[in-house]
Amino acid sequence: MSKSENTTRIETPQAIRGTQDIFGPDADAFAHVVETFERVRRLYRFRRVEMPVFEKTAVFSRSLGETTDVVSKEMYSFEDRGGESLTLRPEFTAGLARAYITNGWRQYAPVKLATHGPLFRYERPQKGRYRQFHQIDAEIIGAAEPTVDVELLVMADQLLKELGIADGVTLTLNTLGDAESREAWRAALIEYFRAVKADLSEDSQERLEKNPLRILDSKDPRDKVFVADAPRIDDFLNAEAQDFFAAVTSGLDAAGVAWERNGALVRGLDYYRHTAFEFVTTRLGAQGTVLGGGRYDGLMESLGGPATPAVGWAAGIERLAMLVGELPYDRSDVAVVAESREREVDASVLVAAYRRAGFSAEAFVTGSPRKRYDKAQKTQPHTIVSLDFRDQQYVNGFKCDEALYPKMAEVQAILDHFIKA
RNA sequence: GCGACUGUAGCUCAGUUGGUUAGAGCGCCGGUUUGUGGUACCGGAGGUCGAGGGUUCGAACCCCUUCAGUCGCCCCA
């Protein structure tokens, strides 16, 4: 009985829309971003935190508050068996704020935290946007001084430089003022745009009610003519807020971090105060933000915690990896080829010896023995060890692809030792 | 949620105005050649032409629906 006659076709389940299986050069670039972040984060003495991937829905719905679209349409929420509404984290900040409150991390304040991992948003996938995506994240909780904003930005700047992607990426900066100045500005914007409402784009007419600050970064040319003359936050900043922003910008100048003012850079949520920033690029199509963040002094209270100043940023690992591009191929130190079946065990023993000695090594012991050498060469190892059994003789070959390979002598010594044994 | 474009072998792609048994390169597997070798040659496996329906004597090709991908809009915590 042949297979085709009696087997019913088993449907392979497909991957969830907007998820990705990252492999090969993409996976290498991804890992490089995370490794670089981990290294830089240690330089700045940020402490690593591991966070749950899901939380009670209230953790996010409270912090996101009024923007009902985001909460109702764009979160992965579900009920557990006890009927509790849970949500896959759409960001790190809210969960970290919850942990800060519930674990009493005030005792460590000001505390510098760093984490990374998957986040989930129910959105239509497009370039650099996925439903499960990954971010690196850095936060400083419990410090109200502008010096920590500067430290955080300098860290971000150094990270991008060490990733080699700082060219073509610019830091854009704005202040949203304190609660008082922010509200005054917002009221003025609404008044200004309401007067010309009929001439705004349909989208912006809607934004006027829901999220007026967002009109400022509308892409529609009909809106842009009015945006140019819209009220500026600078005219609404009180002395305290002015001083804060001046301290941040002068701190950046002193640290040698280039920045540009972008008066249209806003945050939709009320708990954001003072500094708002984005590192942007034109190299990623419509998804131009590489790294973004700001000061969110009002967040802790919206989660029922004590008033706590905090500032942080996050960056999409996939986007950073796209900018990093293809890394140089990581060649192995040694390839051990068993060119006949009699030497397969020898090859396994020898390759293990290399690995114990700290060399990256791969054994070629599968498939046609005659083709293993070619297969090994295609992986571009620095050295190739050939183990053969021909004409009733053991034959061992050694080849170093480039004379300059610094560890050639050590590799050869391990082979010699193996042959004698 | 909306729009445009795209789905053919593991990968990259051909496939004529609708017409026999759907092809190539690469990769994979087997073999021959070479025998300090990245070569060349021979052979093989592998396809519900994304899925479902319709038009037609006949559909990979035309129509509808659906799913997926890509890019953009909305949103962007």
What are the DSSP calls for A37-100, one per residue?
A: HHHHHHHTTPEE----SEEEHHHHHHHHTT-HHHHHHSS-EEE-TTS-EEEE-S-SHHHHHHHH
How many CB atoms lie under 10 A from the CB of residue A7? 9
Residue A4 pLDDT: 35
Residue A163 pLDDT: 97
Fold of A25-178+238-324: BirA Bifunctional Protein; domain 2 (3.30.930)
Rounded-to-10 torsion of CA A407, A413, A414, A419: 150
Give chain A's radius of gyration (CA, Å).
Answer: 28
Question: Which DSSP category does A166 fall into?
Answer: -
Map residue A419 onto helix, strand or coil.
Answer: helix
Residue A393 pLDDT: 84
Residue A169 pLDDT: 95
What's the token pair of residue A389? 């059994």
Which residues of A make up each annotated binding site? 91-93, 121, 135, 139, 267, 271-272
Q: Has domain A334-420 been given CATH number 3.30.1360.170? A: no
Strand B footprint nucleotides (protein C-beta < 7 Å): 1-3, 28-39, 48, 67-77
What's the rounded Cα separation, in Å, for the pair A147 and A207? Answer: 34
What's the token pair of residue A122? 């129910």
CA of A134 to C1' of B7 (A): 28
Does at least one atom of strand B sit less than 7 Å from the CB of A342? no
What's the rounded Cα separation, in Å, for the pair A313 and A173? Answer: 13
Q: Which residues from 214-253 of A have any strand B atom under 7 Å from their CB?
A: 214, 218-220
Residue A380 φ/ψ region, left for φ over 0, alpha for ψ in the -120 to 50 degree band, beta for the rest:
left
**Residues, chain A:** 421
Q: Strands (DSSP E) along A52-143, which ranges?
A: 54-56, 77-79, 85-88, 111-120, 132-141
Does at least one atom of strand B sit less than 7 Å from the CB of A18? yes
- Please, are residues A90 and A119 in contact by the beta-carbon 8 Å criterion? yes
Q: b/e for A244-275, b at 16 or more Cβ within 10 A?
A: bbebbbebbeeeebebeebbbbbbbbbbbbbb
Contacts of A351 (CB under 8 A, 6+ apart): A334, A336, A361, A362, A363
A396: enclosing H helix or E strand = strand A393-400
Residue A8 pLDDT: 55
For chain A, the structural domain boundaries read 25-178+238-324, 334-420
Does at least one atom of strand B sit less than 7 Å from the CB of A205? no
Which of A266, A273, A295 is closest to A178 using CA atoms? A273
Residue A390 pLDDT: 81
Angle between helices A317-324 and A25-43 (to 10 degrees): 110
CA of A75 to C1' of B14 (A): 44
What's the token pair of residue A394? 């053991």
- Please, are residues A321 and A133 in contact by the beta-carbon 8 Å criterion? no
Does at least one atom of strand B sit less than 7 Å from the CB of A269? yes
Amino acid at A399: K
Angle between helices A179-195 and A202-210 (to 10 degrees): 140
What's the rounded Cα separation, in Å, for the pair A316 and A291? Answer: 7
Tens digit of pLDDT at every position of chain A (421 positions): 333 333 456 777 888 999 999 988 899 999 999 999 999 999 999 999 999 999 999 999 988 875 667 777 889 999 999 999 999 999 999 999 999 999 999 999 999 999 999 999 999 998 889 999 999 999 999 999 999 999 999 999 999 999 999 999 999 999 999 999 999 999 999 999 999 999 999 999 989 988 889 999 898 889 989 998 999 999 999 999 999 999 999 999 999 999 999 999 999 888 999 999 999 998 888 878 999 999 999 999 999 999 999 999 999 999 999 999 888 888 899 999 999 888 989 999 999 999 999 999 999 988 888 888 988 988 889 999 999 988 788 889 998 877 778 999 999 999 999 998 7
What's the token pair of residue A265? 């850079």
Residue A128 pLDDT: 85
What's the rounded Cα separation, in Å, for the pair A45 and A226? Answer: 45
Expressed in angstroms, the distance from the first to the final Cα of chain A is 53
Which residues of A make up each annotated binding site for L-histidine? 91-93, 121, 135, 139, 267, 271-272
- Please, are residues A207 and A253 in contact by the beta-carbon 8 Å criterion? no
CA of A369 to C1' of B36 (A): 16
CA of A5 to C1' of B57 (A): 30
